[in-house]
């Protein structure tokens, strides 16, 4: 008789894990305040004095040790705003990891620059600083490290390389609100960091984003790009830079204020549970959590990343294992299926109607993303099992169930071979 739930056996878990998105009376109270105030829009520059958006920007920036926060519509446009504000554009190369969400790359294209993909480090799944240096050319203008899953990249090394070559560093911290690395918060590393508040993220208003920075000039430009290219104190109809409307609404900011208030507690719980589970996994050969390079004080834990060794599970494929673990009642998925270069969009090199940015005369070079190989990222993509962050917000006994489900699959792995 089958033991595994995928084959009709009983599940290890029938109860749900922590429900996401999470809210309590605070979201309801702050949103009600906004609704009743009839101020639903944060003003012509996107954060008028006294608005929830202004309050959220200040609190989020301070929390990360940054001077400025520029809230915006989502984490994708946060990257675009930061790149434009930093002066990245036509003919520039921007170094990004091969392992990330498409937004890190699409926004480089959006400003008509060229994304240069770099391989990652197996143990951290972050961009490899040694390979960054090899990818630098006279066209390189910026680096976008991605704090994948919430684990902060080796920013000391990345910033050191960037300073030597006079490059801008904009961290894509969509996965990492609240992360601390070698005693430093995300606002004190690099020129800017961008975040996403889309529904699956660790703080959310359904959608939303923010750029944080300590640079006065960069902040002022971000404000302009966020809201129709306007200048402080000037007319609604005078526009100084590329006029986009990327503002966040007051309702979203109200929700984010509430989400920020509980971030510390949630990070504490997730970090504790992740380490508790890591201890349990020591008894399960073939499951290794990605816990960073020793520099992590607080992991942002958007994703709990596990490296799966199929040879220790009787040769059962990672994808089959993921199916079996879901069937046991533990939500998980495979994460990014491949390095970004493998996406169908790169089968055709041209993006814009005239082939820009790849064929742009200001670039004057040929780059073919589809032909590039990223062996470490390939390996990561073929072995990783991703447990979403809300699972780590559950209780201690819930963690025991995760370990029990994995141990059960290992014990009965032969059931999955046929
Ligand atoms: C690494 C990374 N960067 C940027 C984004 C874009 O954020 P948004 O969905 O808010 O546009 C995401 C979203 O999943 C992401 O994972």
What is the DSSP code string of 32-90?
HHHHHHT--B--TTS--TTSHHHHHHHHHHHHTT-SEEEEES-HHHHHHHHHHHTT--T
> Which atom in ligand 1 lies closest to the alpha carbon of residue 79?
4
Same domain, 245 and 268: no
Q: Would you state the pLDDT for residue 186?
A: 96
Q: Which of 228, 261, 294 is the last residue of a domain?
A: 261
Determine the average pLDDT of the residues in 65-83: 98
- Give the three-class secondary structure for 274: helix
Q: Is residue 391 part of a domain?
A: yes
Q: Which tens digit of pLDDT belongs to each residue from 266-284?
A: 999 999 999 999 999 999 9
Task: Name 363's Cβ contacts closer than 8 Å, sequence gap at least 6.
Answer: 90, 91, 114, 139, 357
Q: Clarify whether residues 211 and 149 are in a common domain.
A: yes
304-343 pLDDT per residue, tens:
999 999 999 999 999 999 999 999 999 999 999 999 999 9
- Does residue 318 sit in helix, strand or coil? helix
- As a whole number, mean pLDDT of residues 103-131 equals 96
Atom of ligand 1 nearest to the CA of 200: 14
Three-state DSSP at 399 gives helix
Ligand 1 — pocket residues by CB below 6 A? 74-76, 100-101, 103-104, 146, 172, 174-175, 196, 198, 209
181 forms bridges with which residues in the sheet? 184, 296
pLDDT-derived band at 351 (thresholds 50, 70, 90) equals low
Q: Is position 353 within any domain?
A: no
Per-residue pLDDT at 295: 87
Residues 197 and 313 in one domain: no
Q: Is residue 343 part of a domain?
A: no
pLDDT band at 134 (very low <50, low <70, confident <90, very high): very high
pLDDT digits (tens, 9 = 90+) for 37-46: 999 999 999 9
pLDDT digits (tens, 9 = 90+) for 367-380: 888 889 999 999 99
Domain shared by 236 and 274, yes or no: no
Q: What's the total number of domains in the chain?
A: 2
Calculate the average pLDDT of the chain.
95
State the residue range of the domain holding 33: 25-261
Residue 298's pLDDT band, with cuts at 50, 70 and 90, is very high
Do 226 and 320 have their domain in common?
no
| 125 Ramachandran zone, left/alpha/beta (phi>0; psi -120 to 50) | left
pLDDT attached to residue 350: 58
Q: Say if 191 falls within a structural domain.
A: yes
Region 50-56: what's the mean pLDDT? Answer: 98
Give the C-alpha separation, 156 to 161, whole Å: 9
Mean pLDDT, range 397-413, rounded to an integer: 98
Distance 75 CA to ligand 1 centre (A): 5
One domain, residues 298 and 245:
no
**Ligand 1 mean position, distance from CA 196 (Å):** 6
- Which of 261, 295, 313 terminates a domain? The answer is 261
- Shared domain check, 12 and 135: no
Whether residue 197 is found in the same domain as residue 297:
no
Range name among 97-101, 186-190, 284-288, 355-359 with the lowest pLDDT average: 355-359
pTM over 0.95: yes
pLDDT tens per residue across span 380-390: 999 999 999 99
Inside any domain, residue 101: yes
pLDDT at 190: 97
pLDDT at 61: 98
When pLDDT is averaged across residues 221-236 and rounded to a whole number, the result is 92
Residue 349 has pLDDT above 60, yes or no: no
Residue 157 CB burial class (10 angstroms; 0-12, 13-18, ≥19): middle
Strand partners, 387: 304
Mutate to test the pocket of ligand 1, among 72, 75, 248 (most ligand atoms within 8 A of CB): 75
- Asked whether residue 372 is assigned to any structural domain, the reply reads no
Kindly state whether residue 331 falls inside one of the protein's structural domains. yes
Q: C-alpha distances in angstroms, 271 versus 65, 157, 196, 237, 325?
A: 21, 24, 20, 48, 22
Percentage of residues of the chain with pLDDT beyond 70: 98
Residue 353 scores a pLDDT above 70: no
Shared domain check, 267 and 250: no
Q: Are residues 381 and 316 in the same domain?
A: yes
The answer to whether position 350 is within a domain reads no
Which residue, by CA, sits nearest to atom 14 of ligand 1? 101
Residue 293 and residue 203 share a domain? no
Residues in the chain: 418
Residue 54, domain CATH: 3.40.640.10
Distance CA 70, CA 399 (A): 37
* Rounded average pLDDT over 105-126: 96
Q: What CA–CA distance (Å, rounded) separates 8 from 6?
A: 6
Q: What was the pLDDT predicted at 356?
A: 81
pLDDT at position 176 over 90: yes
Query: Could you tell me which residues come within 8 angstroms of residue 359 by beta carbon, excluding any fewer than 6 positions away?
Result: 349, 350
Answer with the one of 241, 261, 281 that is the final residue of a domain: 261
CATH number at residue 291: 3.90.1150.10
Atom of ligand 1 nearest to the CA of 302: 16
Does residue 239 share a domain with residue 307?
no
């Amino acid at each position: 008789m089958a033991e595994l739930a995928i084959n009709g056996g009983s599940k290890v878990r029938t109860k749900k894990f922590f429900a996401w998105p999470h809210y309590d009376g605070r979201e309801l109270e702050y949103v009600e305040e906004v609704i009743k105030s009839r101020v639903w829009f944060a003003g012509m520059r996107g954060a008028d004095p006294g608005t929830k958006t202004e309050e959220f920007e200040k609190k989020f920036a301070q929390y990360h040790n940054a001077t400025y926060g520029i809230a915006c519509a989502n984490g994708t446009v946060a990257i675009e705003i930061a790149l434009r504000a930093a002066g990245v554009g036509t003919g520039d190369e921007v170094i990004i990891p091969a392992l990330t969400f498409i937004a890190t790359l699409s926004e480089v294209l959006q400003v008509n620059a060229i994304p240069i993909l770099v391989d990652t480090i197996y143990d951290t799944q972050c961009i490899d600083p040694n390979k960054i240096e090899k990818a630098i050319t006279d066209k390189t203008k910026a680096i976008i490290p991605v704090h994948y899953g919430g684990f902060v990249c080796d920013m000391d090394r990345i910033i050191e390389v960037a300073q030597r070559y006079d490059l801008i560093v904009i961290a894509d911290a969509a996965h990492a609100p609240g992360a601390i690395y070698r005693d430093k918060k995300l606002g004190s590393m690099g020129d800017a960091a961008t975040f996403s508040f889309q529904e699956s993220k660790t703080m959310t208003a359904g959608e939303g984003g923010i750029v944080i920075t300590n640079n006065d000039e960069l902040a002022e430009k971000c404000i302009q790009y966020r809201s129709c290219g306007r200048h402080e104190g000037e007319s609604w109809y005078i526009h100084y830079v590329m006029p986009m409307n990327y503002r966040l609404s007051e309702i979203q900011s109200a929700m984010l204020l509430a989400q920020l208030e509980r971030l510390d507690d949630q990070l504490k719980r997730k970090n504790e549970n992740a380490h508790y589970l890591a201890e349990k996994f020591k008894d399960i050969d073939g499951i290794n959590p990605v816990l960073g390079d020793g520099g992590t004080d607080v992991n942002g834990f958007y994703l709990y990343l596990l490296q799966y060794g199929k040879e220790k599970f009787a040769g059962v494929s990672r994808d089959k294992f993921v199916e079996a673990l879901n069937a046991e009642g533990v939500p998980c998925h495979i994460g990014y299926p491949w390095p970004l270069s493998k996406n169908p969009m790169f089968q055709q090199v041209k993006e814009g109607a005239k082939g820009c940015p790849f064929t742009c005369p200001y670039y004057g070079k040929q780059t073919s993303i589809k032909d590039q190989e990223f062996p470490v990222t390939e390996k990561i993509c073929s072995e990783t099992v991703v447990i979403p962050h809300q699972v780590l917000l559950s209780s201690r006994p819930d963690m025991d169930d995760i370990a029990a489900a994995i141990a059960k699959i290992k014990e009965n792995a032969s059931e999955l071979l046929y």
